[in-house]
Amino acid sequence: MREELYIFPDRESLSRTAASMIATLAAGTIEAKGTFSIALSGGDTPKRLFTLLGAEYAPAVPWSRVHFFWADERCVPKDDEESNFKNAYERWLSRIALPEGTIHRIRGELSPAHAAAQYEDELRRAFGGEGLPSFDLIVLGMGSDGHTASLFPGAASLDEKERLAIPVYADVLKSWRVTLTLPVLNNAEHILFLVAGASKAETLGALFNAEPRSEQRRRSPAGLVRPGHGVLTWLVDEDAAQSVPSQVIRTPSPSD
């Protein structure tokens, strides 16, 4: 596994670099193998990225060769303001030409257990067979508590080894979600974390100041995402990077 961390002065430059990286990775992967699989996260951080990918970066990729998935979803209808699908669809996917069968959303309108089972079936169909899906790219965020996707600190979901997608009740948020499990995240070719804002600084600093396999690192689910045969890239703004030790910081950004 290769891990790299880049720092940006603000969300705009972080989002632009993320868009450029995703477009380049997608175009190159499609060139090499004819398709590209990506799983998206929700929340605020990726909103500007999605807008950029649906606008000025849209021409850079033959999007009809891309299969879109989600790392997690809230158990709400697809037109609900809370929906991670809606977050990406309105800003990006609705603005690019996509054939039927390339958007694999988690059906938040179903019961949590049914939505997770249906998504797992869809993953197995899309990736073929009983093995672990290997996404070309998974875009993740990190909460101030260190959660990522809908994998929360101390949750039993962190120990799931068999299932690909599971229903989880987010105590802090008092809501049901469906999330990919760590075995799927850690089987990705590339993980791209987007982390911005001072509220993330303490958790991110603790994560990078801890040894990779230490208990401290385990306290943050984001610290458990370590794609064994892949690349782990962090794009972080200065506010969130305040406590990250200088020896792990690389500048200039990857697009320079």
Q: Does 201 bind ligand 6PG (CB under 6 A)?
A: no
At closest approach, how far in Å is the CB of 99 from ligand 6PG? 26
Q: Which is nearer to ligand 6PG, 42 or 112 (CB)?
A: 42
Residue 10: what residue type? D
At closest approach, how far in Å is the CB of 198 from ligand 6PG? 12
Contact between residue 66 and residue 36 where contact means Cβ atoms under 8 Å apart: yes
Q: Mark residues 32-61: x for contact with ligand 6PG by CB under 6 A, - for none.
A: ---------xxxxx----------------
User: Among residues 54, 133, 141, 223, which is the contact residue for ligand 6PG, using CB under 6 A?
Assistant: 141
What are the start-end ranges of the E strands in 9-136? 36-40, 66-70, 72-74
Query: 41 phi and psi, to 5 degrees?
Result: -110, 170
Q: What stretch of H or E contains 176? A: strand 175-180
At closest approach, how far in Å is the CB of 181 from ligand 6PG? 14
Q: Which is nearer to ligand 6PG, 61 or 204 (CB)?
A: 204
Q: Which is nearer to ligand 6PG, 30 or 217 (CB)?
A: 217
Q: Mark residues 222-251: x for contact with ligand 6PG by CB under 6 A, - for none.
A: ------------------------------
Q: Does 143 bind ligand 6PG (CB under 6 A)?
A: yes
Contact between residue 226 and residue 1 where contact means Cβ atoms under 8 Å apart: yes
With a CB cutoff of 8 Å and minimum separation 6, the contacts of 133 are 37, 123, 124, 126, 127, 164, 184, 187
Number of residues that bind ligand 6PG (CB under 6 A): 15
Q: Does 157 bind ligand 6PG (CB under 6 A)?
A: no
- Dig out the tokens for 151 from the structure: 């994998």
- Dig out the tokens for 176 from the structure: 């049901």
With a CB cutoff of 8 Å and minimum separation 6, the contacts of 140 are 41, 71, 148, 149, 185, 191, 192, 193, 194, 222, 225
User: Among residues 15, 148, 186, 203, which is the contact residue for ligand 6PG, using CB under 6 A?
Assistant: 148
Under the rule (CB under 6 A), what is the footprint of ligand 6PG?
41-45, 71-72, 84, 141-143, 147-150
